[in-house]
Amino acid sequence: MPSEMQPLAKALSLQRAKGDQLYKGAVGATALVAARTGIGTSRAAEATARLLDAVHVEHVMVVGIAGGLGSSAVGDVLFPEVVVDKTTGVEYRSSPLGGVIPRDKLMTHDDFDMTPEEQQQLVADGFVAVDMETAAVASVCEQRGCAWSAIRAVSDLVGVTPGDVITLANADGSPNLGAAVRYLVTKPWRIPRLVRLGLDSRAAAQGAARAAARVLATGPSTRS
């Protein structure tokens, strides 16, 4: 989403040329290019394929926010070792950079909301967070023979954030202002929670971006 890209671009001093959808920069001798995926597995897979078609990439890093499960707390920065596609059940294992030891387990799915029973089962199976893109990115990377890893910061807790807030964003991750106005008019009692979610999401996106910058600063200089 734009709210995830902005702190990443700032942390890594990335710039976007006029008319270009890609952000570019460098950390030392490491060339960087960044792209937004939008929301959901289909858009993430398409964006990853476009990126790998457009430029030579040795390592893809997914950076952004996620919903926490179990013992996860808002603000936690996660380095998933295993990411599972909920629809297919396929597991993907990350390739760490910068001395990171991945240890977390992440579930990717397109269902923003889930039942308490589903949440409990995921926690019992060892998952610490959910997102809507990482497994799709990993799938394309593995098909193309490209290494990948992920950094996700917890912005909210599954089961606490109302599932219908997903309607407040367009598919590309930009704010849906019309839906937001209607939501606030019809559900004004949720305004305090939405304000808290906004602040926590911004802090989480900044945390994920800072973590990515640290990893890249200590990673192999040949990576891009």
Of the pLDDT bands very low, low, confident and very high (cuts 50, 70, 90), residue 223 is very low
Tokens of 49: 């394929």
Strand ranges inside 86-214, DSSP E: 91-93, 104-108, 129-131, 147-157
pLDDT over 50 (residue 221): no
Contact criterion met (CB below 8 Å) for 93 and 148 = no
Residue 51: what residue type?
L
Rg (CA), the chain: 17
User: What does each C-alpha distance from 5 to 1, 93, 122, 126, 218 come to in angstroms?
Assistant: 6, 24, 28, 29, 21
Least confident among 30-39, 53-62, 167-176, 188-197: 167-176
The pLDDT tens digits of the residues spanning 167-181 come to 778 877 787 888 888
* Residue 84: per-residue pLDDT: 97
Q: Which of 134-138, 156-160, 174-178, 180-184 has the largest mean confidence?
A: 134-138
The pLDDT tens digits of the residues spanning 76-124 come to 999 999 999 999 999 999 998 888 889 999 999 987 778 889 999 999 9
Burial 213-224 (b: 16+ CB within 10 A, else e): bebbeebeeebe
Nearest to 197 by CA among 171, 221, 164: 164
Put simply, whether the predicted model's pTM sits higher than 0.75 gets the answer yes
Name the residue with higher pLDDT: 175 or 204.
204
Q: Of all helices (H) and strands (E), which one includes residue 129?
A: strand 129-131
Name the residue with higher pLDDT: 171 or 187.
187
Q: Is the dihedral of CA 70, 75, 79, 84 positive or negative?
A: positive
User: CB burial class (10 A; 0-12, 13-18, 19+) of residue 51?
Assistant: buried
Mean pLDDT over all residues of the chain? 90
Task: Report the SS3 class of residue 177.
Answer: helix
Name the residue with higher pLDDT: 206 or 165.
206
Tokens 């950390």 found at: 27
Nearest to 138 by CA among 129, 130, 147: 147
* Residue 219: per-residue pLDDT: 65
Of the pLDDT bands very low, low, confident and very high (cuts 50, 70, 90), residue 222 is very low
Mean pLDDT over residues 121-131, rounded? Answer: 95
CB neighbours of residue 130 within 10 Å: 24
What does residue 106 show for φ and ψ, rounded to 5 degrees?
-120, 140
Of the pLDDT bands very low, low, confident and very high (cuts 50, 70, 90), residue 132 is very high
